[in-house]
Amino acid sequence: MALSLAISPCPNDTFVFHALVHGRVPGAPPVEVTYADVDVTNTAAERGAFDLVKVSFAALPWLLDDYHLLPCGGALGRGCGPLVLTRGDGTGGPDRTDLTGATVAVPGDRTTAYLLFRLWSAGRPPARIEVVPFHEIMPGVAAGRYDAGLVIHEARFTYHRHGLTALVDLGEWWEADTGLPIPLGAILARRGAVDPEAAAGWVRESVRQAWADPAASREYVLAHAQEMELDVVDRHIGLYVNEFTADLGEAGFAAVTALLDRAADAGLVPQTSSSRATAWTS
């Protein structure tokens, strides 16, 4: 039977999963892949829609009863956090130092980016949050429809083109506050449908092949890269595919635990058992 897989069309995901999707991982079943933004996969995973699925770490408290967290294949690292963008000096927009009273566009209400934003802005929250398709956030801030926008991924490399300024790098804030990497996207295996040990092996082999022959996935990555320039694609992969992609390790699991514990203590997510959140065999 084919394995149903849901990932984003972003270069880091297509690079990592190229070998698995194309039947190049020995012993892995054939794969039927769906491409969707993480806000969509977060919701689909609540319905148990996929056997393997990329979700936000922030969504784990709602998903771990039905899914195993795999220790590989996800997006976690340093220097790769979400940005809060505003219009800056010289663009006619307000020069903000905080977001009190502001309207902020975010890419999803259960994304890790938004959870980090809520932790950062606690005590001085914006007046209004609007969930907006990712590609509309930067143009919307530049046009004045939103006072600020929360962005991820390739926006780190392109926001200057919209005349925007980074009010805060939430990754830098998180790392300075915790000393831990930023846990962004996780790979989950559906309980009762996929053996998590086998799935972790398939994903790790796909990662190994991606690093061993980066050119093999180039056409596939570019076909799904939503018109990104080649330089942006390469920088995207270089930033988000790293040692934590092959194995979360002690630091990665500590980052996941810290994020979910802090969010639960703040009343932002349900309390999650640390053993369930950090042990993929649980």
Read off the pLDDT of residues 125-173 as tens digits, 9 standing for 90 and up: 999 999 998 889 999 999 999 999 999 887 888 899 899 999 999 999 9
Asked if residue 223 has pLDDT above 70, the reply is yes
CATH 3.40.190.10 segments of the chain: 3-77+182-278, 83-178
Consult the annotation and say whether 212 binds a ligand.
no
What confidence tens digit (pLDDT) does each residue in 243-271 have?
Answer: 999 999 999 999 999 999 999 999 999 98
Contact 178, 1 (CB under 8 A): no
As a whole-number percent, the residues of the chain with pLDDT over 90 amount to: 78
56 is in an annotated binding site: yes
84 annotated binding-site participant: no
Q: Is the pLDDT of residue 94 over 60?
A: no
Q: What does the mean pLDDT of the chain come to?
A: 91
pLDDT at 180 over 90: yes
The highest-level CATH class for domain 83-178 is alpha beta
- pLDDT above 90 for 90: no
Checking if the pLDDT of 278 tops 60, the result is: no
User: What is the predicted pLDDT for the residue at 273?
Assistant: 65
Gap between the Cα atoms of 212 and 17, Å rounded: 13
Whether 272 has a binding-site annotation, put simply, is no
Catalytic residues: 153
Average pLDDT of the segment spanning 188-202: 96
Query: Structure pTM?
Result: 0.91
> Would you state the pLDDT for residue 89?
54
CATH superfamily assigned to domain 3-77+182-278? Periplasmic binding protein-like II (3.40.190.10)
Residue 54, marked binder: yes
